[in-house]
């Protein structure tokens, strides 16, 4: 089984300690791990985890939060693999090898029922934050654009647009080309609600594909090696 280094802390019953503990963990990471580049990397967290987890996973009763990065999990080799799967090189501050990724592990009482994960993506006028909630098989349960700087943000953040992603998986997005924007299969069924926002629509789909690839590499590819999804305690 591949070894992975996660910084992790537990949160039961959606306690609000996350806003206090998270900065302390980041400071510890800087001191213990020599992770000096983290200040230049841009992570993606839910603005209000207690509220957002309950909304994106209504059946949840609690969650645990983990932090990881491509650098910590597999370094340059993993970076090359992710880029190959995405079909495009990573670029900019949102896609450096040391970007910290936050994974919310979702529970119903003591039973793990899924994950929530978000990524940053460059849009036409600024950053876009795209979150998906996933079941244990990697199917999208909910799609959520937390942040988008665009006059068409309302259309792309509308629940009707997000519902088009429900039920899609990693394999569905294998058929989406992030460079050309062409797609086949189920991914081709996702329609742009604002044709004038073609650049941001394309960015949102790229972010979704990137999100799913990262979750596959961080979590789902290890499912068979551990009953807890391969995450080291």
One digit per residue, the tens of pLDDT, for the chain of length 233 reads: 444 444 344 454 544 333 333 444 433 333 334 333 334 577 899 999 999 999 999 999 999 999 999 999 999 999 999 999 999 999 999 999 999 999 999 999 999 999 999 999 999 999 999 999 999 999 999 999 999 999 999 999 999 999 999 999 999 999 999 999 999 999 999 999 999 999 999 999 999 999 999 999 999 998 755 544 333 33
Look at residue 40 and tell me if it is in a domain: yes
User: Parallel, antiparallel, or unpaired: how do β-strands 62-68 and 111-122 relate?
Assistant: unpaired
Distance CA 198, CA 82 (A): 25
Label residues 117-155 b or e (16+ Cβ within 10 Å = b). bbbbbbbbeebbbbbbbbeeebbbbbbbbbbbebebbeb
CA 99 from chain center: how many Å? 12
| Domain carrying residue 104 | 7-225
Determine contact, residues 130/144, Cβ cutoff 8 Å: yes
Look at residue 204 and tell me if it is in a domain: yes
Using CB atoms within 10 Å of the CB of residue 73, give its burial: 0 to 12 exposed, 13 to 18 middle, 19+ buried.
buried
Look at residue 199 and tell me if it is in a domain: yes
Look at residue 174 and tell me if it is in a domain: yes
Look at residue 230 and tell me if it is in a domain: no
Q: How many domains does the chain have?
A: 1
Look at residue 233 and tell me if it is in a domain: no
The total of other beta-carbon atoms located within 10 Å of residue 95's CB is: 22
């Amino acid at each position: 089984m591949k070894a992975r280094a996660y910084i992790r802390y537990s949160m039961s019953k959606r306690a609000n300690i996350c806003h206090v503990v998270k900065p302390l963990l980041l400071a510890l990471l800087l001191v213990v791990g020599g992770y000096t580049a983290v200040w230049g990397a841009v992570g993606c967290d839910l603005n209000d985890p207690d509220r957002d987890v309950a909304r994106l996973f209504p059946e949840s009763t609690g969650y645990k939060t983990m932090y990881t990065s491509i650098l910590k999990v597999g370094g340059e080799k993993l970076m090359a693999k992710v880029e190959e799967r995405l079909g495009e090189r990573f670029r900019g501050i949102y896609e450096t090898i040391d970007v910290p990724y936050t994974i919310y592990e979702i529970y119903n009482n003591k039973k793990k029922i899924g994950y929530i994960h978000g990524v940053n993506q460059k849009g036409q006028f600024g950053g876009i934050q795209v979150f998906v909630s996933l079941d244990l098989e990697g199917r999208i349960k909910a799609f959520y654009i937390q942040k988008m700087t665009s006059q068409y943000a309302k259309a792309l953040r509308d629940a009707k647009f997000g519902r088009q992603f429900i039920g899609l998986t990693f394999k569905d997005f294998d058929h989406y080309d992030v460079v050309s924007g062409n797609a086949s299969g189920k991914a081709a069924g996702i329609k742009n609600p604002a044709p004038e926002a073609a650049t941001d629509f394309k960015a949102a789909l790229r972010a979704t594909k990137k999100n799913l690839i990262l979750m596959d590499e961080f979590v789902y590819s290890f499912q068979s090696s551990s009953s807890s999804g391969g995450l080291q305690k």
